Structure 1
Amino acid sequence: MRRPLLAALGAAALLAATPSDLAAQQTPLARPPLRSYPDLAAPQARPVPPVAQRPPQPPETPPERRAPRPGRRGQPAPAPEVARAAPAEAAGLAEDLDAALAIDAGARAIRGQREAVRARDAQVRSPIAGSPAIGSSFRSDTRGPRLANEWDVEIGAPLWLPGQRSALAGTVNAGVEEQERRFALRRLELAAQLRDAYWAVGLAESEWRVARDRLATARDIGRDVQRRVELGDIPATEALLTRNEELTAELDLARAEAAVAAARAAYRTLTGGSEAAFEAGGRVPRPLGGPANGEAHPAIRAAEAALATAEARARLVAATPIDNPELGLFTRGQGGPVTENGTSLGLRVRIPLPTEARNAPRRADAEAERTRAEGELLQARRLVEGEIRLARLGLGATERARQLAADRRAVAERQLAAGRTAFRSGEIGAFDLFRIRQLQIEAAAVDARAEVDVGRARSRLNQALGLAPG
Structure 2
Amino acid sequence: MKFTHPRLIIYSLTLLWLAPVPASAVSMDFVKLLDNIIAQQPEQQVRKGVQEVYNANKEFSDSWIAGDVDLIVHHENDSLTDNDNYQNWQVGVEFPLWLPSQKNAQKQIANSYGQEATAQQTYLRWLASDTLRKLVWRFQTAKIKVNAARSSLKKSQDLEHKVAQKVSAGESPRIDLLLAKKAVLKQQNQLVQKQSALTIAQNLFQKWTQSRQLPKNIKERPLSPIVMEQHPKIVKLLSGLQLSQAQLQKTRSFKQDSPRLFLGAQNDKDRNSENSSLIFEVSIPLGMNPAYSPKLAAEKRNIYEQQAIVDRAKIQLEQTIFKAQQTLASAKQGIHFSKQQYDISQQALRMSETAYQLGETNIQNLLLVQQQTAEAKLNYQLIQARSGQAIANLNQVSGHILEAQQ
Tell me the TM-score normalised to structure 1 length: 0.75
Q: Quick check: 1:236 aligned with 2:174?
A: yes
Whose RCO is larger (CA < 8 A, sep 6+)?
2
Residue identity opposite 1:124 in structure 2: S
How far apart are 1:225 and its partner, in Å?
A: 0.9
Correspondences of 1:26-425 after superposition (within 5 Å): 91-143=28-80, 147-271=85-209, 273-275=210-212, 278-279=214-215, 282-283=216-217, 285=219, 291-292=225-226, 294-337=228-271, 340-355=273-288, 357-425=290-358
| Cα displacement (A) at 1:91 | 4.5
CA distance in structure 1 between the partners assigned to 2:40 and 2:100 by the alignment: 45
**Aligned positions, number:** 379
CA RMSD of superposed structures (Å): 2.3
- The structure-2 alpha-carbon separation of the partners of 1:246 and 1:456, relative to structure 1 and needing over 3 Å to count, comes to same
CA distance in 1, matches of 2:273, 2:281: 22
User: 5+ unaligned residues in a row in structure 2: which ranges?
Assistant: 1-23
Residue 5 (structure 2) aligns with = none
- Structure 2 distance, partners of 1:303, 1:432, is 61
Seen in structure 2, the aligned counterparts of structure 1 residues 423 and 169 have a Cα distance that, compared at 3 Å, is same
1:290, distance to aligned residue in structure 2 (A): 6.7
Further displaced range: 188-197 or 303-312: 188-197
Report if aligned partners of 1:148, 1:334 keep a CA contact under 8 Å in 2. Answer: yes
Q: Is the 8 A contact 1:197 1:263 kept in 2?
A: yes
- Uncovered stretches (5+) of structure 1, i.e. residues with no partner: 1-86
Over residues 83-113 of structure 1, what are the superposed CA-to-partner deviations in whole Å (9 max), with x where a residue is unaligned? xxxx986644432222111121112212222
Q: Distance in 2 between matches of 1:424 and 1:88?
A: 48
Q: Which amino acid aligns with 1:317?
A: T
Q: How has the CA–CA distance of structure 1 residues 376 and 285 changed in structure 2, closer, same or farther, with 3 Å as cutoff?
A: same
Give the match's secondary structure for 1:105.
coil
Radius of gyration: which is bigger? 1
Tell me the TM-score normalized by structure 2: 0.86
Q: Which moved more, 1:408-417 or 1:350-359?
A: 350-359
- Residue 469 in structure 1 maps to residue 402 in structure 2: yes
SS across alignment from 2:156: helix
Aligned residues of 1:219 and 1:246 also touching (Cα < 8 A): yes
Are the aligned partners of 2:87 and 2:269 in contact in 1 as well (CA < 8 Å)?
A: yes
Equivalent of residue 447 in structure 1, options 353, 370, 380: 380
Deviations 1:124-175 (A, max 9, x none): 1112222433322222113488822111111233111121111111111112
Aligned to 1:429: 362
One-letter amino acid matched to 1:108: Q
Q: State how far apart, in whole Å, the 1-side matches of 2:157 and 2:229 are.
A: 55
The equivalent of 2:20 in structure 1 is: none
